[in-house]
């Protein structure tokens, strides 16, 4: 299955990496590599993550990497990465569109 990152998800991941890099640039690079590695498995196992609890929709799911939620949508076209956010932040349902 094809995996595509939305501009919003890329922007959020970049902001998180930038924040991490203020303290440790090497850790930020490792974090980015880890996030992309976690997402790569979705091409073969799109239903491996649980549904996003705020929505309860079968097609909107999440996987975790360290303290972050990677939220994605499954469709006939593939897997769309919608957002990357810290566990403490609730997912905004408007981002599911």
Identify the structural domains of the chain with CATH numbers, from first to last. Answer: 3-89 (3.30.2310.20)
DSSP strands (E only) in 1-97: 3-5, 60-65, 68-75, 78-86
pLDDT over 90 (residue 5)? yes
User: Looking at residue 91, what is its pLDDT?
Assistant: 75
pLDDT over 80 (residue 79)? yes
Task: Tell me the per-residue pLDDT of 6-39, one tens digit each, with 9 for 90 and over.
Answer: 999 999 999 999 999 999 999 999 999 999 999 9
pLDDT over 80 (residue 95)? no
The alpha carbon of residue 33 and the mean position of all alpha carbons in its chain are separated, in whole angstroms, by 13
Q: What is the pTM of this model?
A: 0.91
Task: Tell me the per-residue pLDDT of 62-78, one tens digit each, with 9 for 90 and over.
Answer: 999 999 999 999 999 99
Which H or E element spans position 36? helix 25-40
Residue 11: φ, ψ to 5°: -60, -45
């Amino acid at each position: 299955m094809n995996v595509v990152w939305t501009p919003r998800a890329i922007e959020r991941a970049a902001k998180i990496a930038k924040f991490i890099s203020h303290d440790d640039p090497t850790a930020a690079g490792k974090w980015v590599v880890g996030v992309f590695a976690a997402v790569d498995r979705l091409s073969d196992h799109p239903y491996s993550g649980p549904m996003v609890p705020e929505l309860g929709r079968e097609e909107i799911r999440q996987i975790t990497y360290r303290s972050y939620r990677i939220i994605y949508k499954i469709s006939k076209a593939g897997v769309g990465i919608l957002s990357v956010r810290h566990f403490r932040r609730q997912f905004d349902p408007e981002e599911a569109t």
